Amino acid sequence: MGDFWSKESPPSEQLMETGWCEINWGTLQNNEMKKNLRKLQLKNPAVQHLHILVIGPVRAGKSSFIQSVNSVFKNRMVNAACTVAAGGKSCTKTYTTNPFEDEGRNLPFVISDVMGLEKGRDSGVQPRDIISALKGRIKEGYTFNPVKPCSEEDTGYNSRPTVNDMVHCLVFVIPVSGCMDNDLIRRMQNIRQIACDLGIPQVVILTKVDLACPHVKEDIKLVYKSQTIYQKMQACSDAFGVPMSCIFPVKNYHDEKQLNLDMDSVLLFTLTQILNYANDFVA
């Protein structure tokens, strides 16, 4: 099997002089991004909200990403004690669709979370369940059965999915260190191929960037200047065939006690790109 990241050349710890992506930092800019997301005009009137699905190995940071988005819009840390994974097993066993509120109103997107893709055939979510979720065939609240995919006889099966139930952007959550082996990569490549066949846009979020680069750990504003992160993104792009423009490095809120303006900026920037792709898909 072997670890995916161990095949890379040793990371260069250098910083680039100019970054490969420009984020506008600051309170005003963050407020502007929030405002734009609040007022996002959906390109299809039949769609109530854009539907994002996050998938990836257990402990990749899927639930943390959702909680981070939640915290950014709530303007305070959201307690994630029940949602983050403990040990090596998935915490998220039911198909949960998370709405987000801003200034007392629902934002025009939801993010669904599925059980982690785990090693071995009989644990974690089945790729067939993810394909059903992409097509909108799994109802909210369905409890995944690791040994049997959801089918017509299950009450959690949606036999008449509408454009609202479908996934509008598939987000692979991949940690920059650990958790990845060749079997997992193959499973994700297969899922990616099916999403491609369905025309669903895909994005990769590279999480835990703070663990990969000491500069980034020190200052998240350096994330798009870090050679290490750039190399990780390239390795990811080569392995999945996802263009660099669709890969976003992110640091989730995980042990912070307070919000951080610059972490918010990276999260809001990433979310904006994801929602733009999703909105293009429903048009």
Ligand X SMILES: Nc1nc2c(ncn2[C@@H]2O[C@H](COP(=O)(O)OP(=O)(O)O)[C@@H](O)[C@H]2O)c(=O)[nH]1
Residues forming the site for ligand X (CB under 6 A): 56, 58-64, 84-85, 91, 116, 173, 207-208, 210-211, 251-252, 254
Q: Which does 118 bind (CB under 5 to 8 A by kind): Mg ion, ligand X, none?
A: none
279: left (phi over 0), alpha (psi -120 to 50) or beta: alpha
Closer by beta carbon to ligand X, 129 or else 210: 210
**Least CB distance to ligand X at residue 58 (A):** 5
Nearest CA-CA partner of 78 in 68, 89, 63: 68
Q: How far apart are CA 244 and CA 273, in angstroms?
A: 13
Q: Which does 192 bind (CB under 5 to 8 A by kind): ligand X, Mg ion, none?
A: none
Nearest CA-CA partner of 224 in 24, 34, 4: 24
**Least CB distance to ligand X at residue 115 (A):** 9
- Name the DSSP letter for residue 214: H
Q: Work out whether strand 202-207 and strand 247-249 pair parallel, antiparallel, or are unpaired.
A: parallel
Q: Which does 77 bind (CB under 5 to 8 A by kind): ligand X, Mg ion, none?
A: none
Residues of this chain that interact with Mg ion (CB under 5 A) are 62-63, 91-92
Q: Which does 208 bind (CB under 5 to 8 A by kind): ligand X, Mg ion, none?
A: ligand X
Structure tokens at 108: 């025009």
- Name the DSSP letter for residue 40: P
Q: Are 80 and 33 in contact (CB under 8 A)?
A: no
β-bridge mates for residue 249, sequence order: 206
Closer by beta carbon to ligand X, 108 or else 116: 116
**Least CB distance to Mg ion at residue 80 (A):** 10
Q: Which does 254 bind (CB under 5 to 8 A by kind): Mg ion, ligand X, none?
A: ligand X
Closer by beta carbon to ligand X, 63 or else 231: 63
**Least CB distance to Mg ion at residue 59 (A):** 8
Residue whose entry in the numeric block shows the structure tokens 């305070």: 76
**Least CB distance to Mg ion at residue 54 (A):** 9
Residue nearest Mg ion (C-beta atom): 63
Query: Would you say how long the chain is, in residues?
Result: 283
